[in-house]
Structure 1
């Protein structure tokens, strides 16, 4: 669907326009090709291959008889939970802020590309770099994983790769969106650092703080009966549902909770992330596996929607 590109006025605003798919494709293709020619793409591919092969070798050495595909995925996902955001934030850091800082964004917008086309094209181009490097690294590393585990499940492994790509897209959406709202790479870098601190320090601290407040009686917890290792019934207390929901909104936690979805694709099995005894009436909807996918989708769509609205109105 072709549209007329909104021209910038004297105050730097631009007329709103719908998305031109051909224009988006052109921006994404150029951004992707520029990255392919650099060391970054090949460096990422080698990194992901080395990560999978090294972890497979180490886990096989540490646990030679009992390592399963799902067990491997469960452990590797903890590493990916930290590594993927760092890579996505670095890839998206200068995507638009760098071009605004050098002034090349004006040249790009002088071509038949609207601001929305540029924003979405940059997101798709950077995501394609991360996605292709993940696919290359994971598929080559799959040989080492297949040798290391006792019974390899190809469907579960591919599902894990797909979910890791979605997780990377969520953080790439956050990164490119923030980059579009900042005037310089310094400000964009500070924003990326802030996002990382938010989800890996502040978010976890909130959960710990809520637990401390519950233990001191400032928050009313939910009592339940559980069985300990000796087979005895004991009374315990968990955080209320609203506190559990806060924890689930973190994209990293949502990503790791999707691991239970892969059990149906393998002869292996993995227990639920949450204590079933703490929820005798069944898990609330936001603790169920499918909702983790909704959370990741939220972090893809919402930052992009906010950026599209704001980027149309900022002074370039």
Structure 2
């Protein structure tokens, strides 16, 4: 008897999850992930405990985990999800067992997502655990919001990796797509938006900038996550490689203020919805849906012979 579509997807997801979770690379990355965040968050929180706040742990965990390790791990876990089976010829075996293309695609995404969800939850629990151990007053709602953002970020980069894997036809193309997407988000996006500001306004963005500038920045999943996490922590979380110093005209004395660089401080008046924490969640959801839709659309029409 052929499996039903839902059963087929569940069977493929379970099998693929079991295979992925046995990977030594994944366990090594998760080990480094937890170790670094634990050491860095603990060191940051105990450096000057009398002046520290429990939400400062969010900034440290978001910086090392959310902006670096979770995206990289998601891309590593997901970039071979479809194209690996395609190159090895395993897809023909799966199709011969009455699994459809949608079942294969959805099962691969669900299995890789489960791996990253575990890593994201661990990251959040590390932050909450350190905060509970060092501080008496821990805002659970704030940490819950941060945890949701972290899981969504992991889902977004998993979707990007699986989407790329569904579009391309070779391992090298998948690797190039995964690496290229991370480079675009970390090295290209912010300078490109700043260049557009310079063309339109005739100057680099300063401490205050138009709403559209921050909106375009927030369409980057890493920027959306960072800005929302900064608002939750009540302190600015620096982007990867410190683009703020290099591409914005912000006074040095202001740059050292943890609150002055928050989007809510740089936008005049009330913070619009499209720059708020809930909108960051919407941006991340879009980065889950769109890459998956494109990846499946191409995979469903690909000639796999």
TM-score (norm 2): 0.80
Aligned mate of 2:262, from 262, 269, 273: 273
Q: Is the Cα contact below 8 Å between 1:260 and 1:272 reproduced in 2?
A: no
Q: What are structure 2's unaligned runs of at least 5 residues?
A: 235-258
Give 1:275 shift.
Answer: 4.4
Secondary structure in 2 aligned to 1:69?
Answer: coil
* Aligned residue number for residue 248 of structure 1: 218
Q: Alpha carbon RMSD of aligned pairs, Å? A: 3.0
* Distance change >3 Å, CA 92–CA 104, structure 1 → 2: same
Taking the TM superposition and a 5 Å limit, the aligned residue runs for 1:141-160 are: 142-149=128-135, 151-160=137-146
* Distance change >3 Å, CA 77–CA 237, structure 1 → 2: closer
* Distance change >3 Å, CA 151–CA 299, structure 1 → 2: same
Instruction: Quote the Cα distance in structure 2 between the aligned partners of 1:173 and 1:21.
Output: 20
Alignment deviations for residues 167-196 of structure 1 (CA, whole Å, 9 cap, x no partner): 100010010010111111111001111101
Instruction: Quote the Cα distance in structure 2 between the aligned partners of 1:168 and 1:23.
Output: 25
Instruction: Quote the Cα distance in structure 2 between the aligned partners of 1:289 and 1:141.
Output: 19
* Aligned residue number for residue 84 of structure 2: 98
Instruction: Quote the Cα distance in structure 1 between the aligned partners of 2:214 and 2:195.
Output: 13
Give 1:22 shift.
Answer: 1.5
* Distance change >3 Å, CA 36–CA 65, structure 1 → 2: same
Aligned mate of 1:51, from 14, 17, 36: 36
Alignment deviations for residues 211-257 of structure 1 (CA, whole Å, 9 cap, x no partner): 4335636x9x9xxxxxxxxxxxxxx7844443332111000111123
1:258 correspondence with 2:244:
no
Instruction: Quote the Cα distance in structure 2 between the aligned partners of 1:51 and 1:262.
Output: 22
Instruction: Quote the Cα distance in structure 1 between the aligned partners of 2:176 and 2:228.
Output: 30
* Aligned residue number for residue 229 of structure 1: none
Q: Is the Cα contact below 8 Å between 1:92 and 1:176 reproduced in 2?
A: yes
1:67 correspondence with 2:52:
yes
Taking the TM superposition and a 5 Å limit, the aligned residue runs for 1:290-305 are: 290-305=278-293
Larger radius of gyration: 1
Instruction: Quote the Cα distance in structure 1 between the aligned partners of 2:142 and 2:214.
Output: 27
Alignment deviations for residues 276-305 of structure 1 (CA, whole Å, 9 cap, x no partner): 46423x333311222111101100011111
* Aligned residue number for residue 244 of structure 2: none
Aligned mate of 1:166, from 152, 171, 177: 152
Instruction: Quote the Cα distance in structure 2 between the aligned partners of 1:295 and 1:124.
Output: 20
* Distance change >3 Å, CA 151–CA 118, structure 1 → 2: same
Instruction: Quote the Cα distance in structure 2 between the aligned partners of 1:88 and 1:127.
Output: 8
Instruction: Quote the Cα distance in structure 1 between the aligned partners of 2:198 and 2:96.
Output: 56
Aligned mate of 1:285, from 261, 266, 273: 273
**Equivalenced residues, count:** 279
